[in-house]
């Protein structure tokens, strides 16, 4: 059975909180890292589409589409004014239920600071235990300086939330799921 890693980053756009998960087979990690490394501008340590021009964005997104990766985008309503932990928790809980289907055994989340990372670990720990996955899934928080592949969900999440034509370039790779607010 193929082992998969999931790299996770969030994006917030008016009315929506998105958690983007990029799934990479363990055997394809080196190829994905080489592709991301080639896309990083000289003198910089990370890739970030919001600071790129249109031609460069198109080039980067087209190179990502060529990689052997798949994306899961979990979206939930978010007013943008309140703390984003509740919509994030909804998305993390939805992710935990998707892990067996997606075959992900290693999760790497973009770090958001010590306290916020602690909240993520608590949420994931509870959800993985409830789903009897605690022995089959490991997770950690890493920054973009420490984990090159965090650039993948960052770029895909940016594109999905941006105005056209950007979502059209990556949408064929994405499984987009709406996560309802708790009723």
Residue pLDDT tens, the chain, 183 long: 678 999 999 999 889 999 999 999 999 999 999 999 988 878 787 887 888 889 989 999 999 889 999 999 999 999 988 889 999 999 999 999 999 889 999 999 999 999 999 999 999 999 888 888 888 899 999 988 889 999 999 999 999 988 889 999 998 889 999 999 875
Residue in the block written with tokens 């034509």: 165
**In angstroms, how far is CA 25 from the centroid of its own chain?**
15
Give domain limits for the chain: 4-178
Indicate whether this model's pTM tops 0.85: yes
What is the C-alpha to C-alpha distance for residues 123 and 135, in angstroms, rounded to an integer?
A: 16
At 75 the pLDDT is 96
**Residue of 174, 97, 177 whose CA lies nearest to 130:** 97
Region for residue 52 given its phi and psi (left: phi exceeds 0; alpha: psi -120 to 50; beta: otherwise): beta
- Tell me the two tokens of residue 138: 């490991």
Q: Tell me the Cα Rg of the chain.
A: 16
What is the C-alpha to C-alpha distance for residues 165 and 4, in angstroms, rounded to an integer?
A: 30
At 92 the pLDDT is 95
What percent of the residues of the chain are helix, what percent strand, and what percent coil, each to the nearest 5? Answer: 45, 25, 30
Residues 6+ apart with CB under 8 A from 62: 169
What is the C-alpha to C-alpha distance for residues 88 and 18, in angstroms, rounded to an integer?
A: 8
The per-residue pLDDT for range 163-172, each reduced to its tens digit, is 889 999 998 8
In this structure, which topology does domain 4-178 adopt according to CATH? Answer: Nucleotidyltransferase; domain 5 (3.30.420)
The per-residue pLDDT for range 93-132, each reduced to its tens digit, is 999 999 988 999 999 999 999 999 999 999 999 988 888 8
């Amino acid at each position: 059975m193929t082992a998969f890693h999931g790299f996770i980053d969030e994006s917030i756009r008016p009315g929506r909180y998105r958690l983007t998960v990029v799934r990479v087979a363990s055997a394809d990690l080196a190829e994905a890292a080489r592709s991301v490394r080639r896309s990083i501008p000289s003198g910089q340590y990370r890739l970030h589409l919001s600071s790129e021009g249109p031609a460069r964005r198109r080039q980067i997104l087209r190179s990502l589409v060529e990689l052997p990766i798949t994306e899961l985008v979990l979206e939930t309503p978010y007013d943008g004014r309140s703390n984003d932990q509740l919509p994030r928790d909804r998305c993390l809980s939805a992710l935990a239920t998707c892990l067996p289907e997606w075959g992900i055994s290693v999760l790497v989340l973009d770090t958001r600071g010590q306290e916020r990372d602690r909240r993520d670990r608590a949420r994931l720990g509870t959800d993985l235990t409830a789903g009897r996955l605690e022995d089959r899934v490991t997770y950690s928080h890493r920054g973009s300086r420490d984990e090159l592949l965090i650039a993948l969900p960052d770029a895909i999440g940016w594109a999905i939330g941006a105005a056209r034509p950007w979502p059209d370039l990556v949408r064929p790779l994405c499984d987009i799921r709406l996560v309802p607010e708790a009723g």
